[in-house]
Amino acid sequence: MNDIFIYVALVLFGAALGSFAAATVWRIRARQLVADKAAGEDYDKKEYKRLKKIIAKPLDDHSQCLHCTYKLKWYDMIPIVSWLALRGKCRSCRQSIGWFEFLMEIGVAAFFVVSYVFWPGGVETGYDIAHFVLWLIAGVIMAILFAYDLKWFLLPDKLNIALAIVGLGIVGVVAAQTGDVVGTLLSAAGSVAILSGLYAALFFVSKGNWVGFGDVKLGVGLALILVDWQLALMALFLANFIGCLIVIPLLAAKKLERNAHVPFGPLLIAGTVTAWFLGWAVLDWYMSGLGF
């Protein structure tokens, strides 16, 4: 009974924060375009024109249709529900409003529910709850980074920094919960060395050709939210594994150029999330196999 309320709350909060995450993606993009234009760099003129309304009124961005300027009512802005009721079309001009917002709402809501169901050891104590809530916040930041890197091959600094700060919070909670401050800090440092250090090495060796410095910075935040160096190793493995699963069929079907740019951010994030939920089970199984 109690659990039903928890699930309903997780879906509602997740969908609302997914909607917030989608809006944040456009807001950061709009600011990026303005900055690029001011710096005299190349920028996407078509996109700049489309996002102009957001640029002019940054807090008012989702209150009108980008095609016909129809003013959205409150019932047009209910996460997931409005999109389904309108079948992804504007109420006024019937133009498609796209899948992006809907997928972000569904995605973050699913992340919240899955996180609760598969939380290692269950969400019981005050420490568990603090850890769980910080993890959900990290999830919202990761959703924004995931979408941004997929769309524009960029991982904005502010988001990387925000993720690292949440990560430090998680390290603090784990240190307090286990009472092993030195061990936790060492494991977290090892985690950073594995997830960020490897990409830093690749970055310097290739002079920025293979991976971007954004991946190096993202690795710090992801390493901190995992805390454990063994999980970081697993995340790295899973990120590359998932990458191969996606890239090899595309190469085989000649849908992808050999030297095409592959965004590592979404792969690292997917690897990290999978490692967090699968990792403990695998480590338990491995340790019991060794007779610990």
Residues within the interface to Zn ion (CB under 5 A): 65, 67-68, 70, 90, 92-93
Least distance in angstroms from the C-beta of 76 to Zn ion:
10
DSSP state of 60: G
Judge whether 190 and 239 are in contact, CB under 8 Å. Answer: no
Q: How far apart are CA 195 and CA 231, in angstroms?
A: 10
Whichever of 31 and 67 has its CB closer to Zn ion, that residue is 67
Least distance in angstroms from the C-beta of 73 to Zn ion:
13
Whichever of 32 and 92 has its CB closer to Zn ion, that residue is 92
Least distance in angstroms from the C-beta of 92 to Zn ion:
5
Judge whether 111 and 80 are in contact, CB under 8 Å. Answer: no
Q: How far apart are CA 54 and CA 31, in angstroms?
A: 9
Distance (Å) of CA 116 to CA 129, 167, 176: 10, 18, 21
Whichever of 70 and 277 has its CB closer to Zn ion, that residue is 70
Whichever of 65 and 109 has its CB closer to Zn ion, that residue is 65
Least distance in angstroms from the C-beta of 86 to Zn ion:
10
Please give the angle made by the CA atoms of 192, 195 and 200, to the nearest 5 degrees: 90
